[in-house]
Amino acid sequence: MTKRTLLVPCLALSLGGCIPSIKTGGDVDRKPMEVAIGAAASLGHSTVIAMNAMSKTESCAQVVKACSTFPCSGEVTITLGADCPLPLGGAATGTIDVTGMWTSATAASLSSTYTNVLVGSRSTVFVSSTNVTATPTSVMYTGQAAHVQGSAALAAQSTWNVSVDASGKYTVSGVQQAGGGGGSAQQLDVSDVTLDPACTLNPTGGRATIQVVNGLDIQSANITFHSACDGKADADGKSVPVDFLM
């Protein structure tokens, strides 16, 4: 849905006195984007660690139920700490239980649960997941598979992909569309957002587009992430803070 499409109804009504409320750039609510990227970072991190723990030693993971032949039901517990930081947030405490069905050493359908996971006194947006498609280097899921906390939920039919390379960099991409009553709609497009282990304050590359319509309230922003590790991003050229924790 383009900005022109969104504005036409109000322009037509403006002859009768309609005045739309339009926000752009740094004035746009970034929380849906922050929740989506924060959840992807957490889910991708724990799932990839669990996948690799089944075939090799992972310093922060304990294999509770191993898979020696396939298919099999397995379980891995991850203990967070200084040696096992979160991609966004850094050093954390708490545990993550990952369970599911491994169809081979490189393919599984997994579920995960975060227990008392904190970064300092703050919690992650991600809570749990079910039926996530996983390999040792990638995770694919829909919004209905990931459970988050807070007012900005993931749209059920959104699709997300998280991959990790040999250097430990994660890449997040996804599309989210949601509609509601009263002419409300939301669209989020996240493309090639890079999470570098050297920076846990903000992504260091990629972009996101946010478009939200609620009646006559219209919001639109183009977000780009920069290499500086300063907890910020650029919204249509304006520097804005980003926050991926609760």
Does residue 8 belong to any structural domain of this protein?
no
pLDDT at 120: 94
pLDDT at 23: 80
pLDDT at 2: 42
φ and ψ at 72, to 5 degrees? Answer: -155, 160
pLDDT at 59: 86
pLDDT at 183: 64
pLDDT at 57: 84
pLDDT at 113: 97
pLDDT at 180: 62
Whether residue 33 contacts residue 210, with contact meaning beta carbons closer than 8 Å, is answered with: yes
pLDDT at 207: 98
pLDDT at 19: 61
Q: Hey, which residues does 76 pair with through a beta bridge? A: 63, 98
Alpha helices in the chain (DSSP H): 3-14, 31-53
pTM of the model: 0.89
170-183, pLDDT tens digit by residue?
999 999 987 765 66
199 vs 225: CA distance, rounded Å:
12
157 vs 43: CA distance, rounded Å:
17
Mean pLDDT value across the chain: 89
Domain count, the chain: 1
86-120, pLDDT tens digit by residue?
999 999 999 999 999 999 999 999 999 999 999 99
Does residue 60 belong to any structural domain of this protein?
yes
Does residue 11 belong to any structural domain of this protein?
no
Which of 73, 40, 81, 41 is closest to 54 using CA atoms?
73
The residue that leads in pLDDT, 100 or 213, is 100
Q: What is the mean pLDDT of residues 224-229?
A: 98
Q: What angle do CA 155, 241, 24 make, to 5 degrees?
A: 65
DSSP per residue, 145-197: GEEE-SS-PPPTT-EEEEEE-TTS-EEEEEEEEEE-STT-EEEEEEEEEEE-T
79 C-beta neighbours (distance < 10 Å), count: 14
Does residue 1 belong to any structural domain of this protein?
no
pLDDT at 3: 42
134 vs 137: CA distance, rounded Å:
8
For residue 20, pLDDT over 80 is answered with no
140-167, pLDDT tens digit by residue?
999 999 999 987 778 887 999 999 999 9
185-210, pLDDT tens digit by residue?
889 999 999 999 999 999 999 999 99
**Strand residues in 66-156 grouped as ranges (E):** 72-79, 93-104, 107-119, 122-123, 126-135, 138-142, 146-148
The whole domain housing 120 covers 17-241
37-79, pLDDT tens digit by residue?
999 999 999 999 999 999 888 889 999 999 989 999 999 999 9
Does residue 9 belong to any structural domain of this protein?
no
Does residue 24 belong to any structural domain of this protein?
yes
Does residue 173 belong to any structural domain of this protein?
yes
Does residue 172 belong to any structural domain of this protein?
yes
pLDDT band per the 50, 70, 90 thresholds, residue 218: confident
